[in-house]
Structure 1
Amino acid sequence: MKKIIIDNAKTLIFAFLIALFIRTFFFQPFYIPSSSMEESLLVGDRLFVTKFTYGYSKHSLPFSPNISDKRILFSSPERGDVIVFKTPEDNDTDYIKRLIGLPGDKIQMLNGVLNINNKPIKREFIKNDFVLCGGTKIKSNFYQETLPNGKTYLAAYSEKNSSKDTDVYLIPQNKFFFMGDNRDCSQDSRYLSSVGYVDKINLVGKAQILFFSNNEEIGNLFTFWKWHKSIRFNRILKFIK
């Protein structure tokens, strides 16, 4: 009996170490709790983030142990990537946003249009629809925006508060500027006191693929009799743009 207990304990420890290794160096699952990235990412989405895409830092490890302030095997992210990062405010909370500004860039909102390095980005009106914001549905205009490197995505702008004009944000070296696709419902780099510019050390990984999605307004994983309505089957195993 004692041998069985020891063998089972060894198996569990071995399995835990393998899972920890994979989570630290390769893939980590994340859950989307807010609507700041709608409609690219919805509340209830579950996705995998690749940890190796931008190299590794202390934030690659569980609990972000303060062992080093350097990033190893660093590979610079591309404009338009959807990235999980630790907020500069506490270096603990995970945020997921779209990378808009690279080191040395000038970012500004003018007349509700995103400007990068003094040039308005290309955008095309797609539809007028509702978008979720803090539990409330807000009528918004959706545009397909095209960044200077050709990356495209849908961004939502509230009819009532379409991203007012801002000062120019000059991105420091080794820092990055992030925005949520749900422009008027996103706490992001525009808010310098809480998020602001994100250091490359704080990058956790690149969002790559949705592996599951559930509409929690309809039901959860325990209300199996509602799965046919709550599970978003069209979002399962979907690559993130």
Structure 2
Amino acid sequence: MTLQAVLSNFALILFILMVVTGVIWCLDVFYLAKQRRAAADRALAEYDARTAKLTADGIKLDNNSNRAEIEAAQLRQPTWVEYSGSFFPVIALVFILRSFLYEPFKIPSSSMVPTLLIGDLILVNKFTYGVRLPIINKKIIELNDPQRGDVMVFKYPRDMSQDYIKRVIGVPGDKITYENKRLTVNGQAVKYTALDDYLNDDSLLYSKQYKESLANVEHRVILTEGAPNVNLGDVKDFPHSENCTYRYEGFTCTVPAGNYFMMGDNRDNSADSRYWGFVPDKNIVGKAFFVWMNFSNPLKRIGSIN
């Protein structure tokens, strides 16, 4: 099994560890501890009987210290029980926190530059879009729906073992048009404000940078001069692809019910819904909301997303 596969199944591994250590902890509390107590009581009774006989014969013993040693030896937990009991509450707490509240992720690519940089360690809110059962990711409590402008983590539709992060551009029913590197949502042109060019620290190349106002959410995007609006050769076949029409200048897509259209803020260097299609609601992991560390820029990167 590859490292990526192991990490993608981390929740399952954590769940199995929690169940195993929890069963051992319960077994100890409700059965093994009582068995050890009974064995200690029998050993102490036998010791007391021998001590009484020796005392009657005139032999004096350090009764208290020997008695305490015997009791401690009988009550001592086996190593495997002791470690399981120690790890169980920690594993259970971590499982609950990352399954229902907040889960950490690391940004692996530049598709969300300049909002998120490679190596950013982020926190994802797991309950904003509803409470879901861990492992199977089935929603059991409806709360909020993703909104345009949200930065969302989701399972990649073409490989559910991979987590992707992009920005929500379109919600169910929206008509998204992208032409000449500009977005139009439901016939309304998205507002763009030119900013200073963005310097990519890795390539040392400048890109055009704009402030994009999407549904009252203002964020930065970068564009690469000379890059095509869509690499038509990279467009895959995907569910509901009939909802999209592609041309050299861009594309138009109508978002089907229960799905979302996602794009990266690094518009010309992002594999997103333009190429592999819509994200179903069942694939949603949570809303990214905070950068808590980047070891390359430890202080500059800490803060809320956007």
Contact 1:103 1:176 in 2 (8 A): yes
For residue 179 of structure 1, the aligned residue among 239, 254, 263 is 263
Supply the AA of the counterpart residue of 1:207: A
- Which position in structure 1 is the counterpart of 2:144? 75
Instruction: Give the Cα separation in 2 of the matches to 1:81 and 1:71.
Output: 22
Q: CA deviation at 1:157?
A: 0.3
TM-score (ref. length: structure 2)? 0.65
For residue 211 of structure 2, the aligned residue among 115, 129, 144 is 144
Bigger strand fraction: 1
- Which position in structure 2 is the counterpart of 1:40? 115
Larger radius of gyration: 2
Higher relative contact order (Cα pairs below 8 Å, separated by 6+ residues): 1
Q: CA deviation at 1:93?
A: 0.9
- Which position in structure 2 is the counterpart of 1:168? 252
Deviations 1:16-70 (CA, angstroms, capped at 9, x unpaired): 1111011100010000010000111000100110100001345xx2xx438x5x5
Supply the AA of the counterpart residue of 2:301: R
Q: CA deviation at 1:129?
A: 2.6
- After TM superposition, where is structure 1 displaced by more than 6 Å over at least 4 residues in a row? none
Contact 2:111 2:269 in 1 (8 A): yes
Q: CA deviation at 1:88?
A: 1.0
Instruction: Give the Cα separation in 1 of the matches to 2:122 and 2:264.
Output: 17
SS at match of 2:273: coil
Matched, 1:211 2:295: no
Q: CA deviation at 1:162?
A: 5.8
Q: CA deviation at 1:130?
A: 2.8
Runs of 5+ consecutive residues of structure 1 not aligned to the other structure: 216-230
Q: CA deviation at 1:154?
A: 0.2
Instruction: Give the Cα separation in 2 of the matches to 1:136 and 1:87.
Output: 27
Contact 1:139 1:159 in 2 (8 A): no
- Which position in structure 2 is the counterpart of 1:239? 304
Identity of aligned residues (%): 36
Contact 1:157 1:163 in 2 (8 A): no
Deviations 1:93-146 (CA, angstroms, capped at 9, x unpaired): 1000110101111111112211111222001000123336xx645431000010
Supply the AA of the counterpart residue of 1:86: K
Supply the AA of the counterpart residue of 2:208: N
Q: CA deviation at 1:208?
A: 1.2
Q: How many residues align?
A: 213
Matched, 1:17 2:123: no
Supply the AA of the counterpart residue of 2:106: Y
Change (3 A) 1:121 1:71: farther
Supply the AA of the counterpart residue of 1:88: P
Supply the AA of the counterpart residue of 1:47: I
Supply the AA of the counterpart residue of 1:212: M
Instruction: Give the Cα separation in 2 of the matches to 1:7 and 1:89.
Output: 43
Supply the AA of the counterpart residue of 2:83: N
Runs of 5+ consecutive residues of structure 2 not aligned to the other structure: 1-72, 231-248
RMSD across aligned positions (CA):
2.0
- Which position in structure 2 is the counterpart of 1:120? 189
- Which position in structure 2 is the counterpart of 1:53? 128
Q: CA deviation at 1:71?
A: 5.2
Contact 2:100 2:132 in 1 (8 A): no
